[in-house]
Amino acid sequence: MLVQNWPLGLRVGLVWVLFWGLAITFGSLTVAAADVQQSIAVVKELGPEGKNHLAAMKAWRELAASNPEALPAILKGMQGANPLAANWLLGAFESICDRTLTGGPVNEALANGAEKLPVAEFEAFVKDTTQHPSARRIAFEWLSKVDPSAGDRLIPTMLLDPSPEFRRDAVARMIDGAQKAKASGDQEASVASYAKALGGAIDDDQVKVIAEALSAAGKPVDLQQHFGFIAKWNLIGPFDNTNLSGFDVVYPPESQIDLSLKYPGKELEVGWIEHTTTDEYGVVDLRKALAHHKGAITYALATISVPTARSAQLRLGTPNAWKLWVNGQLVFARDEYHRGTFFDQYAIPVDLVAGANTVLLKVCQNEQTEEWAQEWQFQLRACDTAGARIEFGQ
């Protein structure tokens, strides 16, 4: 470095200036960090495609320089934040926790201050189910680092928690209890524990374990009902999708729903038919319900009724291209073919009105000839943000 060649006096001077410069700088950061709420508000203004990045970066630095007393405010600030802004806030939260708890390299000087995490406020936040579900989980994990008993204290109460991760842990504990009860010969307690676990289970792997155990005990589980799959449909098709040309064509069902009408189809006149799937995972196989068409489109129409207006998610699995309308409004469209089909492949947030809601799905098949590209099917369920079925009628 060039400074190595400087006179000793000059170098000592540099150290002195640096000392006070850094002290003043970090001191000012502390003052700025006092306005945690303002920094959080700026971060929450983050938008798509880099919108507000520069202001958010400045606010983030101020936020991350805060003392641990700011942590509860950051957690609460995640409520109402868009998913992007929530991640920025999470980054600030973890930076503060890390240097506070571990004395890690983020800022060793601060770590030497030995501030402690506000664990009592963390626990209160975890228990407050009105707060951001993922933020509650993060608070729990940092709480558990300093209080390993927190899991035993909190998780058993979380069978119906809005956070999927908490629910999963609670269900796992109940499954474990059921298995131990069975191993000890208490079949009645085992079945009771499995049945209770089913009430909170939202993940397919856990539901499968529970359903198998209950079925073996003579208490079969209605998976279609448990997950909230929509079973009753009206189907119409095929319409033309030769050369993928039909994806953006507005065929009559997109502009008019009248189950008594018939329309020109791909080859013949087509009309609506009723179809109820008996598949336990709600799969509607269009090759069986209609025929094995290629380069074709089918529309599937269902009505679901809810007692009060609410937000929900429609979760779709299909290997085909698709468009989805709820009450006549297009909510999502995707033109991907045969890249696999999975349970809960797509989660589409929707607003349902009180009473009947129409769900219209356009399912497009291409003309690939490979064996793995023949599926023309879908499964659709209605659930809350955690993945638990919502109550609806058909």
Q: What is the largest CA-CA distance in the chain?
A: 96
Regarding 7 and contact with another protein (CB under 8 A), the answer is: no
Helix (H) or strand (E) holding 306: strand 296-306
Per DSSP, the three-state class of 283 is coil
Q: With respect to another protein, which residue has the nearer C-beta, 340 or 393?
A: 340
Please identify which residue in 27, 80, 199, 220 interacts with another protein, judged by CB under 8 A. Answer: 27
Q: With respect to another protein, which residue has the nearer C-beta, 9 or 218?
A: 9
CA quadruple 158, 164, 165, 171: dihedral positive or negative? positive
Please identify which residue in 37, 41, 79, 104 interacts with another protein, judged by CB under 8 A. Answer: 104
Question: Which tokens is 378 given?
Answer: 């879908």
Q: With respect to another protein, which residue has the nearer C-beta, 19 or 353?
A: 19
Q: Which of 106, 105, 19, 102 is nearest to 66 (CA)?
A: 106
Please identify which residue in 7, 9, 83, 218 interacts with another protein, judged by CB under 8 A. Answer: 83
Provide the terminal-to-terminal Cα distance of the chain, rounded to the nearest Å: 76
Please identify which residue in 95, 234, 241, 277 interacts with another protein, judged by CB under 8 A. Answer: 95
Site string for another protein, 61-80 (x = CB under 8 A): x--xx-x-------------
Q: What is the DSSP letter of 391?
A: P
Q: With respect to another protein, which residue has the nearer C-beta, 65 or 221?
A: 65
> Mind giving me the DSSP string for 186-245?
-HHHHHHHHHHHHHH--SHHHHHHHHHHHHHTT----HHHHHTB--EEEEEEEEE-GGGT
Please identify which residue in 36, 71, 90, 126 interacts with another protein, judged by CB under 8 A. Answer: 90
Q: With respect to another protein, which residue has the nearer C-beta, 128 or 344?
A: 344
Query: How many of the chain's residues bind another protein (CB under 8 A)?
Result: 71
Regarding 305 and contact with another protein (CB under 8 A), the answer is: no
Please identify which residue in 7, 9, 105, 148 interacts with another protein, judged by CB under 8 A. Answer: 105
CA distance 183 to 171: 18
Regarding 109 and contact with another protein (CB under 8 A), the answer is: yes
Please identify which residue in 37, 38, 41, 53 interacts with another protein, judged by CB under 8 A. Answer: 53
* Subset of residues 190 to 219 that bind another protein, contact rule: CB under 8 A: 203, 205
Per DSSP, the three-state class of 322 is strand
Q: Which of 245, 238, 302 is nearest to 270 (CA)?
A: 238
Question: How far apart are CB 205 and another protein at their closest, in Å?
Answer: 7
**Beta carbons within 8 Å of 111's beta carbon, 6+ residues apart:** 99, 100, 102, 103, 104
Regarding 29 and contact with another protein (CB under 8 A), the answer is: yes
Question: How far apart are CB 73 and another protein at their closest, in Å?
Answer: 17
> Which stretch in 23-31, 209-217, 271-279, 298-306 sits in contact with another protein by CB under 8 A?
23-31
CA distance 387 to 205: 13
* Subset of residues 148 to 187 that bind another protein, contact rule: CB under 8 A: 164-165, 168
Question: How far apart are CB 322 and another protein at their closest, in Å?
Answer: 11
CA distance 39 to 60: 7
* Subset of residues 325 to 364 that bind another protein, contact rule: CB under 8 A: 332-337, 339-342, 344-346
* Subset of residues 218 to 277 that bind another protein, contact rule: CB under 8 A: none
Please identify which residue in 42, 71, 75, 110 interacts with another protein, judged by CB under 8 A. Answer: 110
Give the residue carrying structure tokens 């489109």.
297
